[in-house]
């Protein structure tokens, strides 16, 4: 069960997506679901996650994604607490999300289904 404010997903850069998928399949037995040619999600790595192969859309470091039951309320809480929004709310095949930087400069995202 997903819980509001808990780590839900980790997105990693996937500069060479076929090689990256092959590595994790061979080394750890991970399986993948492809979302187009630039994204492969995994759900058997201990926590759900995926590799983003789109060089123009990749985070520079692993992207921790928090779950939200109310994305707009989470956005208000993040900005109210001093977070800096780096990508406003946008839609993608799995739902909607936004990205922000915390006071230490770490980029995270908040996601909502549907």
pTM: 0.75
pLDDT in tens, 37-95: 999 999 887 788 898 999 888 877 889 898 999 999 999 999 998 899 999 999 998 89
Task: Tell me whether strands 49-52 and 39-42 are parallel, antiparallel or unpaired.
Answer: antiparallel
Rounded mean pLDDT, 84-109: 91
- 75 phi/psi in degrees, rounded to 5: -60, -45
- Domains of the chain plus CATH, in order, are 7-113 (3.10.180.10)
d(CA 82, CA 10): 23
Alpha-carbon distance 30 to 46, whole Å? 10
Q: Where are the beta strands (DSSP E) in 1-114?
A: 7-13, 32-34, 39-42, 49-52, 63-67, 84-92, 95-101, 107-113
């Amino acid at each position: 069960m997903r819980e509001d404010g808990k780590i839900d997903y980790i997105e990693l850069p996937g500069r060479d997506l076929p090689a990256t998928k092959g590595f994790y399949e061979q080394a750890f037995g991970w399986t993948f679901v492809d979302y187009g040619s630039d994204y492969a999600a995994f759900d058997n790595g201990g926590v759900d996650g995926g590799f983003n192969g789109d060089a123009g859309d990749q985070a520079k470091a692993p992207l921790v994604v928090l779950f939200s039951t109310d994305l707009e309320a989470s956005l208000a809480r993040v900005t109210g607490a001093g977070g800096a929004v780096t990508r406003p709310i946008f839609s993608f095949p799995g739902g909607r999300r936004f990205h922000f930087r915390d006071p230490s400069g770490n980029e995270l995202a908040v996601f909502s289904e549907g």
